[in-house]
Structure 1
Amino acid sequence: MRRFMAFMLIVFLLTSLIGEVSAVDDPQPLFRMEMTITVAPVKVENASTWMGTFKIYVVLKDPGYRAYFDYLAANNSTKAREEFKSFVKQLVYDNMRDNIEKRFEAVNMTSTIYLPSGGPVKVLDNWSAVVTFALANFLVSDGKVLRCPLSGSLDFVYKGHVFDYSWDKLTLILPKDYQIKNLAPVPDDLSDNVAVWKDGSFLPIIELYTPVYSYVLFLNSTRKEISLLYDPEEGYVQFNATFTGANATPSIINQLLASFRATMDVMSIDTRQENGSLVVIGVARPEVAYHETSSEKVWKAMVKLPGAFDSISVVGGTYVLAPDHTLIITVTEKKSNYRLYAYGIAVVLVIAAVILVKKKGAGKEPEIPEGSAGASPPETGEQELPEEPEGR
């Protein structure tokens, strides 16, 4: 026992001396650390905020302290785990909390740290632990961009000396439907809004576009085309809108669909990706005015578009663009009985002409051929004898 305690005293003295010699700009010497920060918008007590949830996985790597906690565990494992928990809280959690508080004070902001019910540290096997806490106001907005006020290098105070709060890996998980404006330094890996850095001692610069501004950027950087078809029999308008030139995140797609629903009486609507473009397909119920002439039926269908389009086409009709992005579609149809009416008039005229000709022919005397006047009836094979004169 005395030999072990003497050994531990020597270890701690050497560790302290090493710390004094190399305290500035050196990595913290005690733990291997991997940090994961998950960022998401949440509501806390009916107030909206951006929460950053920290999970810091640590493994004790200092051989002197490992020997010390192994010795404690051999005699009282519960006490050893409790002391290790306190050790991790003081060095890992308290140092991170102090960094966070100083950063918020520097920008004249306040924030709140939320801890699990069992405290920030959970002890695992092999002198490892996970430190968990959540931080409100992790991102703040200026209307266009969401920024993290914590960006910069991290400090780690150990035995009165300041080291770099060094970690082996930092993983930042951002909402998939938010567009990244800037991450600095450049991540070693970035995919689906998950960024990974290796071997550092900082919190990165994090900037995201707000959903509204992302939507504006999307509309300003795309070519917008729409084709419409009004069906008078069914009474609805089919539309097909194409947006080409920029990537559409889920948030942008949701806002785009909401804009169609807000301006048009949409019966059904959907989207698809096609050849690098976003296509919106839908059916809407228009306001319709109808009139007819002796030869035509005319429908005017009015729909309000969700914004300006670079190209508009109407199938089976014509259109005019009224103020406030209102489209008036005109569909004209020839009456199907108009030809029969024309044919009927033609037949009546023909019949009338025939009757008129016949009437003119009935008013004339029949003509007698020349040489036939006073002619005797034709002779036959028998003739009467002439009568004898009287007085014979």
Structure 2
Amino acid sequence: MSERLKAGAILLIFFFSLGLINQAVAYPPQQIFDIQIFMTITESGTASVKMTAKLIDPYLLSYLNNLQKNDPQKAQKEFHDMVFSLIFLNLQEFIQSQTNKTVIITPQTGFIELHPNWTTTLNFKIYNYLILKNGTLKSAVYGPMRFIFKNKVLSYHWKKLTIIFPKNAYIINLAPVPKEMTENVAVWENGDYLPIIVLTFNETVFQKERAKKTKIIPFKEFLDNSTKVINLRYDPFAGTVTFNGSIIGMKPEQYHIAKLIDEFNMSMDLIKFDIKSTENGVTFSGEAKPMLQYKETLTKKVWNITIRLPFRFDKVNIKAPKDQSVQMIYEKTDNTIVNMVFEEKKICGPGVIVGLALFPLLLRKRRR
């Protein structure tokens, strides 16, 4: 009997001592649809949008093709629902997360048109896509978009984005720079963003704005001439890192803000992120999920986390967890990689189970 208990105890120690690993990665591109976006901008700043999409996910194609054989009507309805929830709602949620001034209006009929071979067309308008400010029309929403699929965050990858501007418009700024620009028609390829747009219909305003942009400061120069500070705090029980900081030294342009958002999104598994511009830089805050290696032994819990920062910071401040029972026993910052190890000393699950397993042995020995 005692040998069985010893064997059971050894197995329990081995089983419960195995660590759990959770790795955070940058958002991969969505590969559900092949998407192309066409926009026509009016003088009022409204965008008439036409999106074409073809389903390319092998699993969903197989599912719909099999369903089509038995119930064509249900297959069409499910495809319609996929298009609405994945393509349209993801775009709508991105716009709503940036501003409450911009509104998407869909027509009563023909909003989503289904075509053969699981292709579709969406038609709608975005009011206040460009907003009047100091004689210019500026994009109210811009930057990297996200695509939620099966509770996973992906980038809203599109194959081609075409924007047609009014013929009498003066284009002050487009960022990123389009691959093609011909007679107020701009074309971008293979992206996941809405570009920054600044235009005007007043030649005097155009000349003044262009004069202000005699020198476009590259993003690298913006970073190199700024002091970058970030504060990090890990919550072992929530499994998240809260952070805040500042990049001070140069007045940011819209391009710098959009690029910073993109850099944080690509480097950290963000849960939320907020950034604000100041006269000489930016402040930011957010929450992210780090790479985690978790291990329990008989007498302690150990969290080994790795955080990948978007670029090198001049100062990285690490704050202790709010729970005083958890102690940080190791920290290291190497360029853009921050590694921290936390420990909580207590009788853990494996220790309790082994104790219960050995208790009859101890009791029997004591009786002797």
TM-score scaled by length of structure 1? 0.46
Give the greater-gyration-radius structure (CA): 1
RCO higher in structure (CA 8 A, sep ≥6)? 2
TM-score (norm 2): 0.48
